[in-house]
Structure 1
Amino acid sequence: MKATQAEKDKVWKRNEVESPCIQVCVIHKEERLCTGCLRSIDEITRWSRMEPDERSAIMDELPSRAPRLRKRRGGRAARTQG
């Protein structure tokens, strides 16, 4: 049986938390977070099986993770101090 257009539209209008993936999938060696979406490997692999409230909680936390990947390594000041 073929789905009606209304049934097809319903699938795309579900109230689900979307993935934060931006297709820059590189895991930061020390922090163990994806540099693109800021999720851990565990969060990425479990994402499709998570409940919406768990996804929302992670989405709310992601912005606070960004500074962990932007730490300076010392730059010029570290090179000039001997």
Structure 2
Amino acid sequence: MDAGQARCAAHDPTDGREICEVRESEPTSPCTGICTINPVRDLCRGCLRTLDEIAAWSSASAARKRAILAEVARRQSESVRSI
């Protein structure tokens, strides 16, 4: 199901209208399979996450995962600017 897509699973007994809930999809892990920590930056060379972010990913809420992805994007843009 796409982000923001409604899923209707029941009908309101008073008027028969569908009862729908909007669910946001789970963000996909940024893991690239290149799992090596850069000792200078303390970031994974493949996905640019910290060890804490990597460890928290599996139990993190969708909102927390989006926050981690935003940090990864910020780190990627900093890496490009420093070249």
Ranked by relative contact order (alpha carbons within 8 Å, sequence separation 6 or more), the top structure is: 1
Paired residues for 1:1-82 under 5 Å? 15-66=25-76, 67-68=78-79
Identical-pair percentage: 37
Structure 1 gap segments, 5+ residues each: 1-13, 73-82
User: Aligned partners of 1:35, 1:70: CA distance in 2, in Å?
Assistant: 17
Tell me by how many angstroms 1:55 deviates: 0.4
TM-score relative to the length of structure 2: 0.61
Unpaired runs of at least 5, structure 2: 1-23
Question: Normalized per residue, which structure has more strand?
Answer: 2
Provide closer, same or farther for how the CA distance between residues 41 and 34 of structure 1 changes in structure 2, counting only shifts above 3 A. same
* TM-score, length of structure 1 as denominator length: 0.62
**RMSD of aligned residue pairs (Cα, Å):** 2.2
